[in-house]
Amino acid sequence: MKDNSHESAQSAGEQKLRKLAEAQLKQKHAKASLPEIGSLDDTKKLLEELQIHQVELVMQNEELKRAQAEIIFEREKYADLYHFAPVAYFIFDDNDIILDLNMKACELLGYDRAYLLNRPLTAYISPDSLQTFHVHRQHVRLSGVSKTCELQIRRKPENPVFVHARTTLVEQPQYIVDDGELADGQKLVWRTVMTNITVLRQVTRDLARSRNLLMVLSQGSQAVHLATTPEEVYRAVGEQTEHLGSELGIFSLGEKNELRLSYTTLSENILNAIAQDFGQSVDELSLPVLEGGFLAHVIATKETQYRGAPDNFQVLGADTDAVARTNFLVGLFNIKQMIVAPLVLDEEVVALLMVIGDKLEQSDVAVVDIFASQVAISLHKAQLAEELRASVERERALARVDSLTGAKNRRAIYEFAEETLDVAKRYKKPLSLIMLDTDYFKKVNDTYGHLVGDHALQHLVGLLKSKLRAADDLGRYGGEEFLIVLPETDEANAAQLAERLRLLVEQNPLVDNGDEVFMTISLGVIQWHSALRNFESFLNGADQALYAAKTAGRNKVVTYTEYKKPLEGFAIC
């Protein structure tokens, strides 16, 4: 890195050195007498010594030049390292005036070097950090060793940044500035190295927030995982979002590209306001998914998305009506931030999980996305479990229903009657049975055929059920026999019902392909009493009353009391 200025300085230095040497030589000659030259040999020896000494001086001079060039090179090299260092260097005096700084320091503050020199460093430290900086520097002064602290720095073009600062007190009486002159009066010089830790602080904060958020959600993930119905999954998810101080909405994606509300933690008043604005009922509340809207984007990308003020939410869509309704929702909920996560099963979006709050951040998206994946799996599992339960219930119900008539089969009506009897005896409530049979049903089959006979039995069951209460039950006991169980009904009321049923059947024939198929029934009625001893006796009594009705000419109602005189000590209980 040599140049003409360096060569000129070097030549001037040599001339100055020669003059000093000549002056010193004259002084030596004045103080000391020259040796006498006795002979030609002595002269030659002296000349030889002078020549050797001259060569030595030339060699020393060359060595000094090399050393000087190395010093210049090293100085320039370290100047480059200083100015282009990845950290900011500040050198300032005891009054905080900046004496020197590198390029990274200029970049940190947002000004050029010429502007910053001779300005106070404290002018660029945020007021919140000034006290920290003064205390920090005092600790360095008292301890004599370098110290570190965190400061907030004000910069010209952007928001404030956070730095890690290490400050050292330079122990020298004077400070040498760039031109080589000594700066008078500079007794104390400070050096501070600053590293921008804004991104590191944000990452650390985001990691801590994500860890806490994940911890809160993971505590509820077990409840979500153990949920066996979609409602339980929704409730468990809602409880976790409430812990975060947020509101939740889960919307199922319908076939017509609209989102139907499945669950929400919103209050009933807010739901009513939304339903009124959308012209819908709360139970059938749905949101349209329009092109260009935020929700449509989430569904299309299958990615969890964040929106926060002052973003343009455009939740529903980009057209005028959608924007107006979005603004209504934003104002109603006081939405500041929202995260919407798709619930994806088999590569298809089946629902959207919408979290609304004023403490959500972009960094929460990753955690909510993980949680949404768990919710989707748990929801799918709960739906499968619910479908399985429904299937089992259907199979169980079919196993207890007569396939022809739709009434309970013999086993089911038997069990129902037995269970109802246990309740009646426990609470001392009346219980009655009606055993009935069609009259001459074989003639129906012979005259109209078995298919019409099947239709006749179905018609009969429909008539019977039309007069029964919700608590009553009907079962096909065998062939054309049916059993009716009447909880909390005594024999007199049971007999009245039996007579109404008899008339109903008699007066309402089956109409099949233009044919009227008339039928009559015989009925036996019995009320439970202690003399019957057990359930089998109870059923047998109903059957005996039915037999009596048939013996009496059919199309009749006979009670057990009429069939058999009351026993001594008979008591209705």
Picking from 205, 179, 124, 194, the residue whose alpha carbon sits closest to that of residue 157 is: 124
> What's the token pair of residue 233?
């999954």
pLDDT at residue 458, rounded to an integer: 96
Mean pLDDT for 467-475 is 96
**DSSP assignment of 369-392:** HHHHHHHHHHHHHHHHHHHHHHHH
pLDDT at residue 22, rounded to an integer: 63
> Do 221 and 371 touch, CB atoms closer than 8 A?
yes
Distance CA 102, CA 193 (A): 10
Residue 322 φ/ψ, nearest 5 degrees: -65, -40
Most confident of the ranges 109-123, 214-228, 305-319: 109-123
Distance CA 221, CA 406 (A): 44
- Residue that the structure tokens 């009922």 belong to: 281
Picking from 347, 343, 361, the residue whose alpha carbon sits closest to that of residue 224 is: 343
> Do 439 and 553 touch, CB atoms closer than 8 A?
no
> Do 343 and 349 touch, CB atoms closer than 8 A?
yes
Question: What is the C-alpha end-to-end distance of the chain, expressed in Å?
Answer: 122
Mean pLDDT for 250-271 is 78
114: pLDDT strictly greater than 50: yes
Residue 492: in which H helix or E strand, if any?
A: helix 491-507
> Do 260 and 252 touch, CB atoms closer than 8 A?
yes
CA geometry: angle 296, 298, 299, nearest 5 deg: 65
Picking from 124, 83, 129, 121, the residue whose alpha carbon sits closest to that of residue 99 is: 121
- In this predicted model, which residue has the larger pLDDT, 52 or 351? 351
> Which pairing describes strands 161-170 and 147-153: parallel, antiparallel, or unpaired?
antiparallel
- Residue that the structure tokens 């299309």 belong to: 300
Please list, in sequence order, all residues whose beta carbon lies within 8 angstroms of the beta carbon of residue 358, skipping any fewer than 6 positions away: 245, 334, 336, 337
pLDDT at residue 59, rounded to an integer: 77
C-alpha distances in angstroms, 544 versus 16, 204, 280, 413?
149, 87, 60, 19
Kindly indicate the confidence band of residue 79, based on its pLDDT and cuts at 50, 70 and 90: low
566: pLDDT strictly greater than 50: no
Mean pLDDT for 293-311 is 79
> Which pairing describes strands 247-253 and 348-357: parallel, antiparallel, or unpaired?
antiparallel
Rg of the chain, C-alpha, whole Å: 52
pLDDT at residue 398, rounded to an integer: 75
DSSP state of 10: H
Q: How many residues does the chain have?
A: 573
**Helices 365-399, 198-226: crossing angle, 10 deg rounding:** 10
Distance CA 448, CA 440 (A): 13
How many other CB atoms sit within 10 Å of the CB of residue 211? 11
pLDDT at residue 422, rounded to an integer: 95
Kindly indicate the confidence band of residue 572, based on its pLDDT and cuts at 50, 70 and 90: very low
pTM here is 0.48
pLDDT at residue 2, rounded to an integer: 45
Q: How far is CA 41 from the centre of its chain?
A: 106
Beta strands in 289-365 (DSSP E): 305-308, 337-345, 348-357
At 154-195, the pLDDT tens digits run 887 678 899 999 999 885 544 444 443 444 554 679 999 999
Phi-psi region of 50 (alpha: psi -120 to 50; beta: other; left: phi over 0): alpha
363: pLDDT strictly greater than 70: yes
Picking from 22, 216, 292, the residue whose alpha carbon sits closest to that of residue 224 is: 216
